Amino acid sequence: MLHPQSSSQPAVKLVIRLPAQMRERLAEVAQTNHRSMNSEIISILERALGPQTSIA
């Protein structure tokens, strides 16, 4: 399922399973950073994956 985002990139809905303790940690970190859990996951993934490069 695609949803428009403010960055003009399409968003893809993704369902994942997390251990309960990891979800709790994620919720705590998101709250500390004043982000939604979704935004926190995106931030973590962007840092982990590094800069995006396009292949053209």
The count of structural domains within the chain is: 1
Supply the pLDDT for residue 4.
41
Supply the pLDDT for residue 41.
96
* Confidence at 13, pLDDT banded by 50, 70, 90: very high
> Which run of H or of E encompasses 3?
strand 2-4
Position 9 pLDDT exceeds 80: no
Rounded Cα distance, 12 and 32, in Å: 26
In a domain, 41, yes or no: yes
Q: Which residues lie across from 2 on neighbouring strands?
A: 12
Nearest to 5 by CA among 28, 38, 29: 38
Q: Which domain holds residue 36?
A: 16-49
In a domain, 56, yes or no: no
In a domain, 33, yes or no: yes
* Confidence at 8, pLDDT banded by 50, 70, 90: low
Question: Directed axis angle between helix 37-49 and helix 20-32, to 10°?
Answer: 90
pTM for the model stands at: 0.72
Helix, strand or coil for residue 25? helix
In a domain, 3, yes or no: no
